[in-house]
Amino acid sequence: MATNAVARFVLEPQKPTLSVADISNLKTSDIYFGIDVSATNQKSIAALDWSNAIGIGLPLVPAIAIPMLAKRRNMWTLYTMYVEAFAVNLGINEIVKDAVNRPRPLLYNPNYSLAFKMENGNDNLKSFYSEHTSNAFMAAVFLSKVYADLGGKHKKLITALTLTTAASVGYLRYASGKHFPTDLITGAIIGSGIGYLIPVLHKQSEKNKNISMLPVFYNSMATGIYFCYRF
């Protein structure tokens, strides 16, 4: 059948360059949400290191667990679903980060040296929203959903463990001064939604193959999402 409609959303932002003057002009009074101000006082290198370790490790858990959970006949289907969830989550996150360019809380914090603030360059303008938190919740919800769908006997325990671990990633990103609470809340909601919806939509796609969605990476200055509808 022919493709009837294709929609593509592409962002090609002119990425700003972080300068010493930009950092000097940042004021906590300019922060819109009151709950975010406390993040500008957080400084923990240990939390930063742990958030990176757990944030990288948790998304690997479903990939390791799938062979143990799945029957041989559907193992590769589950792997495909997880890759889709991870890719869509990452694609959306990159689009939003490039569009918003929100300074990280640590840039407001006088306890961090200027050298440290300048160390990661424009990455420090990617606070909204938290990729680590979004990935962690995506992995946690995906694993919990698949485990439940496969008839696992310890659904509540698996859900509690994975969500608690994901929440710890968010807290550690906050404690390190990398993210505001609103960055974490948004990341948790979007990641959880993707982790839940991909398994659900995959079931529907087995019946209805008319709709597909893929993240697209054009180059370092442009990312997007490709939508396709067939009938």
Determine whether 193 is exposed, middle or buried from the number of CB atoms within 10 Å of its CB (0-12, 13-18, 19+).
middle
DSSP 25: T
Domain contains 224: no
Which residues lie closer than 8 Å to 124 by C-beta, 6 or more apart? Answer: 18, 103, 104, 106, 107, 117
Is the predicted pLDDT of residue 94 greater than 70, yes or no? yes
Domain range for 99 is 46-205
> pTM, whole model, 2 decimals?
0.81
Q: Between the CA of residue 70 and those of 64, 75, 148, 154, 209, what are the distances in Å?
A: 11, 5, 12, 15, 23
- Examine residue 129 and say whether the peptide bond preceding it is cis (omega within 30 degrees of 0): yes
Contact (CB, 8 A) for 125 and 18: yes
Domain contains 2: no
| pLDDT given for residue 150 in this prediction | 82
Q: Please state the domain count of the chain.
A: 1
Q: What is the mean pLDDT of the chain?
A: 81
Q: Between the CA of residue 180 and those of 5, 91, 97, 124, what are the distances in Å?
A: 38, 21, 14, 12
pLDDT in tens, 27-55: 988 898 999 999 999 988 899 899 889 88
Domain contains 34: no
Q: Picking from 10-19, 50-59, 133-142, 197-206, which range would have the lowest pLDDT averaged per residue?
A: 10-19
pLDDT in tens, 69-82: 766 567 788 888 88
Q: What number of residues does the chain have? A: 231
Domain contains 110: yes
Please give the structure tokens belonging to residue 147: 């485990």
Report the C-alpha gap between 94 and 91 in whole angstroms.
Answer: 5
Is the predicted pLDDT of residue 11 greater than 60, yes or no? no
| pLDDT given for residue 56 in this prediction | 84
Nearest of 31, 34, 181, 177 to residue 106 by alpha carbon: 177
Query: Stretch 133-148: mean pLDDT, rounded?
Result: 93
Domain contains 18: no
Domain contains 152: yes
Domain contains 30: no
Helix 155-175 vs helix 131-149: crossing angle, to nearest 10: 180
Is the predicted pLDDT of residue 3 greater than 70, yes or no? no
Domain contains 113: yes
| pLDDT given for residue 61 in this prediction | 85
Please give the structure tokens belonging to residue 45: 């290198």
Please give the structure tokens belonging to residue 43: 């400084």
